[in-house]
Amino acid sequence: MLVLVGPFQKFVRKVATGGFLLFASTIIALIWANLANESYHAFWHTELSIHLGPYHISRSIQHWIDEALMTLFFFTVGLEIKREMLIGELASAKKALLPVAAAIGGMVVPAIIYTLLNFSTPGAKGWGIPMATDIAFALAVISLLSTRVPLGVRIFLSALAIADDIGAVLVIALFYTESIAWSYLLFALFFLGCIILANIFWVRYTILYVLLGFAVWFGILGSGIHATVAGVIVALCIPAQGRYDTATFIQKVSNSLDKFDCGLEGCGFTVLINQQHLTIIQNIENACHQTQTPLQRMLGGLNSWVALVILPLFALANAGVYLGGMDLQYALTSSITLGVMLGLVIGKPLGIFTFTFAASKLMKAKLTGGVTWLHIFGASMLGGIGFTMSIFISGLSFSEQELIDLSKFGVIGGSLISGIFGLAVLTLAGKKKNRS
* Residue 204 counted as domain residue: no
Longest distance between any two alpha carbons in the chain, whole Å: 85
Q: How many domains does the chain have?
A: 2
Whole-model pTM: value is 0.75
* Bridge partners for 50 per DSSP: 57
Whether 277 and 364 map to the same domain: the answer is no
Q: How confident is the model at residue 5 (pLDDT cuts 50, 70, 90)?
A: very low
How do strand 47-52 and strand 55-60 relate by DSSP bridges? antiparallel
CATH of the domain at 72: 1.20.1530.10
Q: Is the pLDDT score of 12 beyond 70?
A: no
Whether 283 and 167 map to the same domain: the answer is no
Whether 397 and 282 map to the same domain: the answer is no
* Residue 166 counted as domain residue: yes
Mean pLDDT of the chain: 83
pLDDT of residue 230: 83
Whether 56 and 149 map to the same domain: the answer is yes
Q: How confident is the model at residue 2 (pLDDT cuts 50, 70, 90)?
A: very low
The span from the first CA to the last CA of the chain, in angstroms, equals 26
Give residue 112's region: left, alpha or beta (phi > 0; psi -120 to 50). Answer: alpha
The better pLDDT of the pair 55, 295 is held by 295
pLDDT of residue 69: 84
* Bridge partners for 56 per DSSP: 51
Q: Is the pLDDT score of 436 beyond 60?
A: no
* Residue 367 counted as domain residue: yes
CA gap 297, 29 in Å, rounded? 33
Contacts of 14 (CB under 8 A, 6+ apart): 303, 304, 307, 308
Tell me the pLDDT tens digit for each residue of 393-422. 888 888 888 899 899 999 999 999 999 999
Whether 37 and 103 map to the same domain: the answer is yes
* Residue 55 counted as domain residue: yes
Whether 329 and 405 map to the same domain: the answer is yes
* Residue 393 counted as domain residue: yes
Tell me the pLDDT tens digit for each residue of 344-390. 999 999 999 999 999 998 888 777 777 889 999 999 999 999 888 88
Whether 269 and 137 map to the same domain: the answer is no
Whether 95 and 138 map to the same domain: the answer is yes
Q: How confident is the model at residue 332 (pLDDT cuts 50, 70, 90)?
A: confident
Whether 324 and 373 map to the same domain: the answer is yes
Tell me the pLDDT tens digit for each residue of 59-96. 888 888 887 888 888 888 788 878 877 777 667 777 77
pLDDT average, residue stretch 23-41: 89
Question: CA–CA distance from 229 to each of 61, 223, 281 (Å)?
Answer: 19, 12, 41
The better pLDDT of the pair 12, 49 is held by 49
pLDDT average, residue stretch 271-298: 80
Amino acid at 79: L
Whether 310 and 276 map to the same domain: the answer is no
Least confident of 161-165, 212-216, 400-404: 161-165
Q: What is the domain range of residue 282?
A: 246-288
CA gap 132, 168 in Å, rounded? 7
Whether 253 and 358 map to the same domain: the answer is no
Tell me the pLDDT tens digit for each residue of 127-154. 999 998 887 777 777 777 766 778 788 8
- Highest-confidence segment of 86-95, 114-123, 314-323, 328-337: 114-123
* Residue 374 counted as domain residue: yes
Count each helix (H run) and each strand (E run) in the chain, helices first: 20, 2
Q: Is the pLDDT score of 195 beyond 70?
A: yes
Whether 278 and 348 map to the same domain: the answer is no
* Residue 184 counted as domain residue: no
Contacts of 204 (CB under 8 A, 6+ apart): 239, 242, 243, 290, 293, 294
* Residue 217 counted as domain residue: no
CA gap 253, 284 in Å, rounded? 6
